[in-house]
Amino acid sequence: MNYETFRPHPDLSTVVKCHWTLEVPHDTTTPKQRVLPDGCIEMCFILGDDIKRFTSENEYTIQPRAMVVGQITKPYFVQPTGYVNAFAVRFYPYGFANFTNKPISEFADKDTPISSLFENEIANKLQQEIVDAESTKQRIEIIERFLRNRLADQSTIDEIVRSTIQALSEAKGSASIKSILKTDPSKRRKLERDFSKRVGMSPKQLGKVIRLQAALRMMLNQDKEILTKVAYENEYYDQAHFIKDFKEFTGVSPTKYMSDDQMRLSSLIYAKD
């Protein structure tokens, strides 16, 4: 697997976390790969062979070749049908809301074709330009030109939502919404509504995902990390609380995750993110 990330243009750095590419040679023995929640929304272009997204143990759909992958609230499996070559934009949790008027909650746990989000002619033109580009550098230039033009036409970033996400990120997901809004608790109901519309999940859910990602990076980047230490440093109540939250978002225990061949893709991505 070859996974790379690229910084966005400064004009987009408040809404785009990174661009990324993934290449995986054709391998008929590749098992299903588990995709985990990370709090971000992605616009993805499949340039290689088709990718299956499983809806049950044996049933699947073929992912659109140009799509927006909404907030993930539960793990799911994908499997390549051949050569994997993908290019994508990873948005901050509030980022994609600046490019659409639709509530972000509508995209949760779905792959939405970009033709459903933008005018058909514009979506088709963008997809074709991305496919025809001769390099990652060209693809980044194309998508950033598209996003910068769209950003100018959309509403500004919701500062309360952004500041809440920033506080959650700085606390690695362990800060309570009550503590973040200590200056004005009356804002909580509005914040919940704004999160549903602009992020696609509740502040509490996002905080749990951010904390999970912090724990994952710690596990993946340090050999033989003791689970009690991971739980303590990420401010879980105890190891049992950590394992419970971990299984909620991954479907397996931390020990199983580290030894499961279906985790190769997520391990590669989340260790570098």
DSSP 8-state symbol, 268: H
Q: Report the pLDDT value the prediction gives residue 157, as an integer from 0 to 100.
A: 63
Q: Report the pLDDT value the prediction gives residue 109, as an integer from 0 to 100.
A: 94
Nearest to 210 by CA among 92, 87, 67: 92
pLDDT exceeds 60 at position 271:
no
Mean pLDDT of the chain: 87
Residue type, 200: G
Reported as a single tens digit per residue, the pLDDT across 82-138 is 999 999 999 999 999 989 888 999 999 999 999 999 999 999 999 999 999 999 999
pLDDT exceeds 70 at position 154:
no
Gap between the Cα atoms of 174 and 136, Å rounded? 36
What average pLDDT does this structure show over 243-271? 75
Distance of CA 180 to the CA centre of its chain: 23
H helical segments located in the chain = 120-132, 136-153, 159-170, 177-180, 188-198, 203-221, 227-233, 239-250, 254-259, 264-272
Gap between the Cα atoms of 159 and 167, Å rounded? 12
pLDDT exceeds 60 at position 259:
yes
Tell me if 150 sits within 8 A of 143, measured CB to CB: no
Q: Report the pLDDT value the prediction gives residue 179, as an integer from 0 to 100.
A: 77
pLDDT exceeds 80 at position 155:
no
pLDDT exceeds 70 at position 156:
no
Gap between the Cα atoms of 92 and 14, Å rounded? 8
DSSP 8-state symbol, 107: G
Distance of CA 2 to the CA centre of its chain: 18
Reported as a single tens digit per residue, the pLDDT across 3-23 is 999 999 999 998 999 999 999
Gap between the Cα atoms of 12 and 116, Å rounded? 23
pLDDT exceeds 70 at position 41:
yes
pLDDT exceeds 70 at position 238:
yes
Buried b (16+ CB within 10 A) or exposed e, 174-187: bbebeebbeeeeee
> In percent, how much of the chain has pLDDT > 70?
89
Reported as a single tens digit per residue, the pLDDT across 159-205 is 778 888 888 888 888 777 777 776 666 677 788 888 888 898 888 88
Q: Report the pLDDT value the prediction gives residue 183, as an integer from 0 to 100.
A: 62
Quote the tokens at residue 266. 């997520």
Nearest to 76 by CA among 271, 217, 265: 265
What average pLDDT does this structure show over 143-172? 81
Gap between the Cα atoms of 148 and 150, Å rounded? 5
pLDDT exceeds 80 at position 142:
yes
Tell me if 37 sits within 8 A of 81, measured CB to CB: no
Gap between the Cα atoms of 243 and 255, Å rounded? 9
Residue 86, Cβ density class (10 Å: 0-12 exposed, 13-18 middle, ≥19 buried): buried
Domains and CATH numbers, the chain: 2-153 (2.60.120.10)
Q: Report the pLDDT value the prediction gives residue 188, as an integer from 0 to 100.
A: 76
